[in-house]
Structure 1
Amino acid sequence: MQANDDDGVDARVRRRLRELRLQRGMTLDDVASRSNIDVSTLSRLESGKRRLALDHLPRLAAALSVSADELLRAPEVEDPRVRGGAHTRNQITFWPLTGQGPAGGLHAYKIRVSARRRTPPPQLPVHEGHDWMYVLSGRMRLMLGERDFTIKPGEAVEFSTWTPHWFGVVDGPVEAIALFGVHGERVHLHTDHK
């Protein structure tokens, strides 16, 4: 085997190792304890700072509950389309734009804010996280603390959700792209956050 082939196998196993670990929701510590490989060694293996040794393969495969062949094989090209239906909560309809493995812990949605969502609650909610939105159409009303903003199509906003906040419409429906961290997603989609 030539050096280039070795590098290809090493890189493939590194990608597969990380992919399988993340698919299973495992941390580096989880895999390290199951494989009896030091966590720093495992981290260096995944990042390519250390070369893979043959004795690592069976231990890593067992830790991930796969065969060594499965760890060595090239990953299949999966269907890249994001599947998931619309979800409506508090007069906002959410269409998921990211799948199960969000990049950087963020979930992207296309949202449509109903024309009926015009009145903020008496007390603006606060929660852990950070929200980003880009308005595609309509005029969005965004209240942040004591300030009241009108966000027009083509404008983006980014804010800490520790600031009391609420968003709705100025006059007609609003369509936007929204990025929520895990805490923002939980609040916007799964609780009675107004």
Structure 2
Amino acid sequence: MNPNELTLDFSVVRDLRKRAGMTLDDVSQKSGVSIAGLSKLERNQNMIELDTLYRLARVFGLSATDLLNLAESCSAHCKTAEQYTSGPFNFEKVSFKGIDCFQATAKRGGNLSKPEAHGDEFEICWLRSGRIRITLPRETHELSPGQALKFDAALAHSYEILEDSEVTIIHLEKTHRF
């Protein structure tokens, strides 16, 4: 099979095994998958069954979905940031599946009381410089440089810029809990 035609690349199992300092025999013993089957899988010479995927994932402390995702997209993805302004913020944004990363600057006195629409995600605001106040339905937080706040982005929230600020904001789908 031509490597360029692979839709799933399970050589990632070899990478995980070696990083864990395990031999084929170690993985075989822990997963119940034969050494021959593992070897063929690591060389992409056979397809994996769901039960095998599950058992192998557990050996490496992963979910079956995580292992499948690694096999599906084991190469890095490069993107270019988009720039835009929203309220008092000048943003640079990079998005990947499940996560949006923002680098923002804002001038003192700015307010954003209706942040952009959110899906079912968490928001993390990490203040790099300046001072901001974030107001949620039942609480208010004033952040200083180096402080971060994580909250459910579905909650009404507002940002008040108390000093010229630089902020890193992450939107993380709740399916990627931490």
Task: Tell me which residue corresponds to 2:99.
Answer: 106
The two structures, once aligned, show a CA RMSD in angstroms of 4.1
The equivalent of 1:30 in structure 2 is none
Taking structure 2 as the reference length, what is the TM-score of the superposition? 0.51
Q: How does 1:56-67 map to 2 (within 5 A)?
A: none
**Matching of residue 47 in structure 1 with residue 65 in structure 2:** no
Higher strand share: 2
Equivalence map 1:35-184=2 (5 Å): 42-49=49-56, 78=75, 80-99=77-96, 102=97, 105-107=98-100, 109-115=101-107, 118-121=110-113, 128-172=120-164, 174-182=165-173
Which position in structure 1 is the counterpart of 2:41? 10
Q: Which runs of 5+ in 2 are unaligned?
A: 1-23, 25-33, 58-70
Provide the rounded CA distance (Å) in 1 between the counterparts of 2:44 and 2:109: 50
Change (3 A) 1:89 1:11: farther
Gap change, CA 1:162 and 1:96, over 3 Å in 2 = closer
Gaps of at least 5 residues in structure 1 are 18-40, 51-73, 184-194
TM-score (norm 1): 0.48
Match of 2:30 in 1: none
Pair 1:76–1:42, CA change in 2 (3 A): closer
Say if 1:126 and 1:164, in contact at 8 Å, map to a contact too: no
- The structure whose residues are more often helix, as a share, is 1
Query: What is the one-letter code of the residue matched to 2:129?
Result: S
Tell me the CA shift for residue 166 of structure 1.
0.8
- The CA deviation at 1:133 is 1.5
Q: CA 1:146–1:43 in 2, change beyond 3 Å: closer, same or farther?
A: same
Deviation at 1:12, TM superposition (A): 5.5
Give the AA of the match of 2:142. Answer: T
Q: CA deviation at 1:158?
A: 0.8
